[in-house]
Amino acid sequence: PFSLFSFPVFALAVLFVLWQNTHSARAASRLGFAFGLGMFGAGIGWIYIALHDYGDMPFLLALFATALFAAFLALFTALIGYLQAKLQTPAWVRMVMVMPAAWVLVEWLRGLIFTGFPWLTVGYSQAAASPLAGYAPLIGVYGVSLVVAISAGLLVLLWEARWTGRGWMALAALLILWFGGAASRAVEWTQAAGAPFKASLVQGNIAQELKFREEKLADTLEAYRQQVLQSDARLIVLPETALPVLRHEVPENYAEILRSHARKNGGDMLIGAFERDHGQYYNSVFTLGTAESQSYRKNHLVPFGEFVPLRPALGWFINEVLSIPMSDLARGGITQPPLKVAGQKVAVNICYEDVFGEEII
């Protein structure tokens, strides 16, 4: 709900007040854990769906695995509570500096440890309608998280100080932050380069539970063929793993139909499919059309969906429990050249990689 962008500010403000009134680091940690458990418990329900609906994991086991992961993520908010409690500073410094800085530091750590899981980073809550979205081109998502957390601290100071001098200062700082973001939104931070060209995004709307069934393969290929042939765009983009076969298993006559159509339009296609190379499997995007054949291999994989962290200890989880197709993939290189398609150089991100704002070109 993009219109509820102010909700995280008030939620953090309440958490900061509760932290302020705790009397030990242990109590602050427990409070942070409870907050995180609620936040992640509500926000990562899709993992249960992936494990149960698409991985055929038993109901109770999928529920337990999701709850366990939410509890693990809640340890990060527990850490925030611990850190801010250990730093003995004046109340106003703690509210607008220590707590916001600790929040963003731990968010950054969460996006780094075990390849990272930056889901529910607070800065993303300000997308679209929020004035604070104006800061994103300047300081990135973690910078926006910091502004949200500082806003929460200022809101607490404003409530506590009310009509005193400190209250007025908090109000002024809050207005400067939010009007500054609104002003930044009015600035065109990028400029178009080169002549415009037409691009098409083709969505097959293939149900995930049917996607990898062998008896549905012909229907899937036909659905995409029909949609592609209806497009006159110079660049045609298909979704992640749109073709549910390995790249080398795509029927040559089918690939030639798509390639010929892209060439007729004077351009190229970007197609998602799995790729096998030297016994390793990759989640890839490859090209068909006027340009030479190229591919991009997904680097940042989804934990437990595309790879299992700590594989030596959890290998049994893949072999005996998890049955999601292609759930133990290899990573593509951390640096890969852009794809040259439709006369442009295109940097590709696949699905989960979009969550890592610092990696988006």
pTM above 0.75, yes or no: yes
- Return d(Cα 245, Cα 248) in angstroms, integer: 8
Candidate list 160, 216, 340, 351, residue with the active-site label = 351
The amino acid present at 265, given as its one-letter code, is N
At 62, list the tokens. 């999928």
Task: Out of 140, 155, 185, pick the residue that ends a domain.
Answer: 185
Write out pLDDT tens, residues 14-23: 999 999 999 8
Tens of pLDDT, residues 243-294 = 999 999 999 999 999 999 999 999 999 999 999 999 999 999 999 999 899 9
216 is catalytic: no
Strand order of the β-sheet with 295-297 is: 199-201, 235-237, 268-277, 280-289, 295-297
Supply the pLDDT for residue 310.
67
Q: What is the DSSP letter of 3?
A: G
pLDDT of residue 71: 96
Which residue is catalytic, options 222, 240, 249, 256?
A: 240
- Band the pLDDT of 131: cuts 50, 70, 90: very high
Helices 99-110 and 59-86 sit at what angle, rounded to 10 degrees?
A: 140
Give the tens place of pLDDT for each residue, 57-111: 788 888 998 999 999 999 999 999 999 999 888 888 999 999 999 999 999 999 9
Q: Does a structural domain hold residue 274?
A: yes
List the catalytic residue out of 107, 275, 298, 306.
298
Q: Residue 119: inside a domain, yes or no?
A: yes
Tell me, yes or no, if 86 is annotated catalytic: no
User: Hey, is 55 helix, strand or coil?
Assistant: coil
Is residue 191 assigned to a domain? Answer: no
**Average pLDDT, integer, range 187-203:** 90
Task: Determine, yes or no, domain membership for 193.
Answer: no
Average pLDDT over residues 322-327: 58
Look-up of token digits 């070109």: 361
- Which pLDDT belongs to residue 320? 64
- How many domains does one find in the chain? 2
**DSSP-assigned letter for residue 51:** I
Mean pLDDT check: name the lowest of 10-14, 256-260, 319-323.
Answer: 319-323
Residue 251's contacts (CB-CB under 8 Å, 6 or more residues apart) are 221
3-state secondary structure 259-272: HHHHHHCCCEEEEE
187's CB contacts (< 8 A; 6+ apart) are 134
Q: How far is the CA of 324 from the CAs of 64, 235, 297, in angstroms?
A: 17, 31, 19
Q: Are residues 262 and 151 in the same domain?
A: no
Residue 115: domain span: 2-185
